[in-house]
Amino acid sequence: MATTLEQLRFDNTYARLPAGFGARVHPSPFPDAKLVSVNPAALKLLDLTPEEARRPEFVAAMGGEAPLPGMEPFAMVYAGHQFGVYVPRLGDGRALLLGEVRNAAGEKWDLHLKGGGPTPFSRGGDGRAVLRSTIREYLCGEALHGLGIPTTRGLGILGSQAPVYRETVETGAMLVRMAPSHVRFGTFEFFHYTEQREHVATLADHVIAEHFPHLAGQEGRYARFYTEVVERTARLMAQWQAVGFAHGVMNTDNMSILGLTLDYGPFGFLDDFEPGFICNHSDDRGRYAFDQQPRIGLWNLACLGEALLTLISEDEARAALATYQPAFNAHFMDRMRAKLGLREARDEDRELVSDLFARMAEAPVDYTRFFRALDSDARPVRDMFPAPEGFDAWAGRYRARLAAEGSVDAERHARMARVNPRYVLRNWVAQEAISRAEAGDFSLVDRLLGVLSDPFAEHPDAESYAAAPPAWGRHLEVSCSS
C-alpha cells in the first residue's frame, strides 16, 4: 500500500532511551542538495513510490532541511576496538538516526543520514561524506542484498556541489541508509567500559524487545541473546567468505548486533583468488585480510561477550563462543557445496574445497568467474589455469563426487546459476561509476543498482561488468578516508 512522506509513521524507540545513549542533533543540510539516485526497492520497504521521492519535500526531509513531523534526529554513542586497540568514545560522528519508521506490514526501519554534518562525536571532523564513498556504500549495500547477505541498504543519494576536504578537495554527498537497527558491538562496549551497568541491561533489553522478541521476559534471555548473535555473526562471515567479499575494517564499532554488513569503507570483492587479499591500504599488517575475517569475527564476539559480563556468567560467555566455529564451518560448507552444485554433505567435501582453493590461488584464478563458468567436465574453466594439470586432477575428483550422488547436469547447472553470481561490485566497476558521477552523470550508478540487485541473471547491456578487471582496474587501492 503506497503512502506519502507525510503519512510515514515514526516510532522512535531508540531516541526515547535514557540520557547518555546519544545526543539530539539537527542535521546540517547542504544548501544545494538534490536527489541524484534513489533505490526503488528500498523505497518500497517504506511503502513509498519513486514518484514520492522526486518531490522536493523528500530531499528537504531526508537531507535535514525540513524534517518530517515525528522525526527525532539522534546521534548514537558507542565505543569500539579499532585494529585491536580499544577507543573509549566514538559514536555517530557524521551520521544521524533521523527516525524509526513502521511500514504497513509492521516492520521497523531506521532512517540513517550519513554525511549530515558534525555531531558531539565528530572528534574534530566535519561530519561530511564525499560522493566517492557514498556511491560505493550505496551500490555495495544493494550488491550484498542481491547476493542474499544481510546488510544495511541505501535509500538514496543526495548530491551537492559543496566541497569536502580529504586528501584532496572532493564533492560532498549524503547517503540515506536503512536497517532494522544500527546498534553495534561497540554500543555495548561503551556502557560496559564506562561502568554504566544499568545501561548495558537497558540496551540489551531494548535490542531483545525490538529484534529478539521470542526471548523477551525469558529466563536466561541474555545468554540466549548472546548465543544468537554469535550464530548470526558466524553465518555472516561464512556468507562473506563464500562470495569473496572483504570488508576491510572489521572494528567492533563496525559489527552489527543483528549480524548485518555495516559501514562500507575500503571493501573489495576478490578478483584473482588471493586468500591474504588486503582491500584496505591502511591495513599494513593485514589484520583484516580476506582469510582473517572468520578469526576476527570470533575475536570481536569475544569483545562483545566481555561487555555483557554484567548480564551473563563467564561460563555462559564461553559456551556461546564455543558455538561459533562449528556454526561457521557448517554455514560455509553449505554454501560451498551449493556453489559446486553438490546436494549431499559428505566427509570428503572439506578437502575437495580446500584443494580447489589451493589450485585457484596458485594460478591465480578469478574467483567469481570461475564458479560461474564451472560445469561437470570443467572445460570452460580449464583455460583459466596457466598450468592446468593440477586442476585436471581436482576436476577428476569433482566429477567422481558428482557421479557418486547421481548428479544430473541440467538440474545442477540451474542450481549453480542461482548461487554463483555473474556480477559483483568489483572495485574497477565502482570506480567507473564514481568517475562518471563526479562529472555529473549518474546514469551508471542507477544502471549498476539494477544489475547488482539481480546478480545471477544475464544483463546483456552490462556484460563488460562481468569481465575480469582491465589493466587499470587491477589492484586499486582503497582507504578508510571518506
pLDDT at 78: 98
Let me know whether 202 and 124 are in one domain: no
Work out the percent of the chain whose per-residue pLDDT is above 90.
Answer: 92
Q: Which residue is listed with cell 589492484?
A: 475
Let me know whether 120 and 75 are in one domain: yes
Q: Is 450 inside any structural domain?
A: no
pLDDT at 329: 98
Domain that holds residue 10: 5-182
Let me know whether 202 and 177 are in one domain: no
What is the C-alpha to C-alpha distance for residues 350 and 319, in angstroms, rounded to an integer?
25
pLDDT at 288: 97
Let me know whether 267 and 308 are in one domain: yes
Residues assigned a catalytic role: 253
pLDDT at 1: 66
| Share of the chain residues as helix, strand and coil, in percent rounded to the nearest 5 | 45, 15, 40
Q: Is 469 inside any structural domain?
A: no
Domain-ending residue, one of 300, 332, 364: 332
Let me know whether 173 and 190 are in one domain: no
Let me know whether 193 and 245 are in one domain: yes
Residue 298 amino acid letter: L
Q: What's this model's pTM, rounded to 2 decimal places?
A: 0.96
The whole-chain average pLDDT of the chain stands at: 95
Let me know whether 267 and 352 are in one domain: no
Given a cut of 70, the residues of the chain with pLDDT beneath it are: 1, 376-378, 479-482
Let me know whether 18 and 117 are in one domain: yes
Cis peptide before 421 (omega within 30 of 0): no
Let me know whether 45 and 120 are in one domain: yes
Domain-ending residue, one of 182, 200, 220: 182
Q: Which residue is listed with cell 588471493?
A: 274
Domain-ending residue, one of 270, 303, 332: 332
pLDDT at 39: 98
Count of domains observed in the chain? 3
pLDDT at 380: 78
Neighbours of 59 (CB within 10 A): 24
Q: What are the DSSP calls for 354-392, one per residue?
A: HHHHHHHHHTT-BHHHHHHH--TT-HHHHTT-SSTHHHH
Let me know whether 21 and 86 are in one domain: yes
Let me know whether 387 and 309 are in one domain: no
pLDDT at 30: 93
